[in-house]
Chain A
Amino acid sequence: MKISRRAALTAGSLGVVAAGAGAVSLANREKPEPPAPPVLDQNDRLLWRNWSGIQHAYPAQRAAPASEDELAALLPKAPGPIRAVGAGHSFTALVPTDGTLVSLDNLAGVAGWDGDVAQVWAGTRLGALGPALAEKGRAMPGLPDINKQSLGGAMGTATHGAGKAIPAIHAEAQSLRLATVTGEVIEASPTKNSEIFQAAKVSMGALGVITQAHLATAANRRLHRRVWVEDFEAACDQAEARWAKHRNFEFYAVPFTGLAANISHDETDEAARPRGPDTDSGFLEVLRSCRNLLAFSTPLRKAAAHALLSTAKPEEAVDEGWKLLSTERPVRFNEMEYHLPPEAQIPALKEVVATIEKHRPDVFFPIEVRRIAADDAWLSPFNAGPRGSVAVHCHYKDQYGFMFELIEPIFRRHGGRPHWGKLHSLGAADFAALYPRWKDFLEVRRELDPQGRLLNPFLHKVFGV
């Protein structure tokens, strides 16, 4: 991106103006908290709300079974819809129920090992999985950007990290245990109940509750993390080569700046150089201030943001992968992520950025761009080939409806499949066209839960039942 002398001078003048108390106040202004649902409903049931705050429910019953047996005994009797919940990081209405909400928080940790395969309880939070595996010198090769989710929730929604050769978390499962609504616990693997295995790995809690997964692990290597900012167009041009070169690679396109932030991780034997304090929140604050001050003029906003951010010093760190691959996200947001055929990823991204810059000056969050390896789970978005993901975010206090109106049509035109836990408007007919094993999945679902006791209204729409 070239910045004209005039724009640069204007941006400089703007900096002087911004030093004024009024401008500072404008830049830092906080929107009020979105209205919150009552703590209790009319039946004195306690509120449940997802991480971002846009989904909520008042379940009649909450259960946190202390054992697999206790869970299996509960499922046939519990009032439906029965929905399992982890950390509540899904943005879609996967969890809300006025029936039973089941937490697996008491079924957490590594239950045992079979060689290098870890037998992990599904209630284990991903942030706790890293150190638990590291005790045996093992690690997950990929971890998502956020690590607060439970293993069960991450698998159920096909949550993933970033790396051309690294599949989503569910694809590391060598086998799993599934508690069904009849109270049976089914062991499933490629050789035992294989159809249930391929259906259950990504199943949004619609087949039963996954209690345990046996995960393939990798050696717990130290990784060299690099973060650097460059022009957006250059980042797009280099992305394919970087996915080929780096073990883990992703980048963030930053609307209204002409910039992108790249993040790579590669194995190394260098001594540890731990990551410094979080800088992402400061970066976001600059973007938000530029939005607050300059949303009225995209050229001015771009010039100012480019001047402020393009000289950001590259960040480097060396540490064990589980300490580097995920990041604290103290700012809540809403998100839509679609997984696109690789060849459509960058063209779709460019359309998304151009659309946001043309129509939505209120947006300031970066757009995350990742590549994920293929796997064979029936409802995996990465089924039958690798995919390139593009994820659009907006601050939890900002309007997110534009994602459905402006962004989702772009993703769909490029053949995208939505992330199961992130905002989308698709229904059963859409999914039938996107997933070759859709009918097979529905058949397994019907066999395991013929009365639909695991389905809430959102899942009724998703499955068309």
Chain B
Amino acid sequence: MKTIVTIVVACAALAACGPKPITPAEAAKLASADARLAKLYEGACKTCHTNPDSGAPLTHDARAWGPRWAQGEEVLLLHVVQGYKGMPSLGQCVACGPRDLQALVRFMADKEDAK
């Protein structure tokens, strides 16, 4: 019994150390420092990526983006351009070029320093 309690406490401690979940209100306040990107994000991505009902990972939600980022940026961008599951092609941003899309994904995944 003591072992089980120790494991439960350890798991709880580990969970507490994990990334803090972001709320939709917190996600909605985020904006890219780049003015062009901020406008593209506001016009297309934000409507879904700040609304949990959309099924899209919330902007800067490390828990949701972690497994997606782990697939590799190339796979993520392929899904963005072609559409994948609930994600519509180009994120419905026709004005976005490939570099914009890459920058937007990095911003939403909180990986803007990725090389």
Interface residues of A (CB under 8 A from B): 33, 36-37, 39, 46-51, 53, 56, 62, 64, 85, 87-88, 101, 103, 105-106, 108, 123, 125, 127-128, 148, 277-278, 281, 328, 330-332
Q: Are A105 and B44 in contact (CB under 8 A)?
A: yes
Interface residues of B (CB under 8 A from A): 39-40, 43-44, 47-48, 51-56, 78, 81-86, 88-90, 92-95, 97-98
Q: Are A148 and B92 in contact (CB under 8 A)?
A: yes
Chain A positions within 8 Å of B88 at CB level: 49, 51, 53, 87-88, 332
What is the CB-to-nearest-CB distance from A213 to chain B, in angstroms, rounded to a whole number? 18
- Given the interface pairs A53-B83, A125-B43, the reply to whether A105 lies near B78 with Cβ below 8 Å is no
Q: Are B86 and A62 in contact (CB under 8 A)?
A: no
Q: In terms of DSSP, what is the predominant structure of the interface of chain B?
A: helix
Known contacts A36-B82, A62-B94; can you find 16 more A-B pairs with CB under 8 A?
A: A36-B83, A49-B89, A51-B92, A56-B89, A87-B88, A88-B89, A105-B40, A105-B93, A106-B39, A108-B43, A281-B53, A330-B53, A330-B56, A331-B55, A332-B85, A332-B86
Q: How far is the CA of A281 from the CA of B94 in the complex (A)?
A: 27
What is the CB-to-nearest-CB distance from A235 to chain B, in angstroms, rounded to a whole number? 25
Q: Are A87 and B92 in contact (CB under 8 A)?
A: yes
Q: Are A330 and B54 in contact (CB under 8 A)?
A: yes
Chain B positions within 8 Å of A127 at CB level: 47
Interface residue from B39, B85, B94 paired with A48 (Cβ < 8 Å): B94
Cβ-closest 10 pairs across A and B: A330-B55, A49-B89, A64-B95, A278-B53, A103-B94, A36-B82, A328-B53, A330-B86, A103-B95, A87-B92
Q: How far is the CA of A106 from the CA of B42 in the complex (A)?
A: 11
Chain B positions within 8 Å of A106 at CB level: 39, 95
Chain A positions within 8 Å of B98 at CB level: 46
In the complex, number of A-B residue pairs with CB atoms less than 8 Å apart: 85
What is the CB-to-nearest-CB distance from B46 to chain A, in angstroms, rounded to a whole number? 9
Chain A positions within 8 Å of B86 at CB level: 330-332
What is the CB-to-nearest-CB distance from A32 to chain B, in angstroms, rounded to a whole number? 11
What is the CB-to-nearest-CB distance from A156 to chain B, in angstroms, rounded to a whole number? 15
Chain B positions within 8 Å of A36 at CB level: 82-83
Q: Are B95 and A105 in contact (CB under 8 A)?
A: yes
- Given the interface pairs A62-B95, A281-B55, the reply to whether A33 lies near B85 with Cβ below 8 Å is yes
Q: Which residue of B lies closest to A88 (CB)?
A: B92
What is the CB-to-nearest-CB distance from A147 to chain B, in angstroms, rounded to a whole number? 8
Q: How far is the CA of A48 from the CA of B93 in the complex (A)?
A: 10
Q: How far is the CA of A109 from the CA of B93 in the complex (A)?
A: 16
Chain A positions within 8 Å of B51 at CB level: 328
Q: Which residue of A lies closest to B94 (CB)?
A: A103
What is the CB-to-nearest-CB distance from A329 to chain B, in angstroms, rounded to a whole number? 8
- Of B55, B92, B98, the most chain A CB neighbours within 10 A belong to B92
8 residue pairs A–B, Cβ–Cβ below 8 Å: A36-B83, A49-B88, A51-B89, A87-B88, A103-B94, A106-B95, A332-B86, A332-B88
Q: How far is the CA of A330 from the CA of B43 in the complex (A)?
A: 18
Q: Are B54 and A328 in contact (CB under 8 A)?
A: yes
Q: How far is the CA of A106 from the CA of B93 in the complex (A)?
A: 11
Q: Are A50 and B89 in contact (CB under 8 A)?
A: yes
Chain A positions within 8 Å of B44 at CB level: 105
Q: Are A277 and B81 in contact (CB under 8 A)?
A: no
Q: Which residue of A lies closest to B87 (CB)?
A: A332
Q: Which residue of A lies closest to B43 (CB)?
A: A105
Q: Are A277 and B52 in contact (CB under 8 A)?
A: yes
Chain A positions within 8 Å of B90 at CB level: 47-49, 88
- Given the interface pairs A85-B94, A105-B95, A328-B54, the reply to whether A48 lies near B47 with Cβ below 8 Å is no
What is the CB-to-nearest-CB distance from B48 to chain A, in angstroms, rounded to a whole number? 8
Q: Are B82 and A37 in contact (CB under 8 A)?
A: yes
Q: Which residue of B lies closest to A277 (CB)?
A: B53
Q: Are A49 and B43 in contact (CB under 8 A)?
A: no
Q: Which residue of B lies closest to A53 (CB)?
A: B83
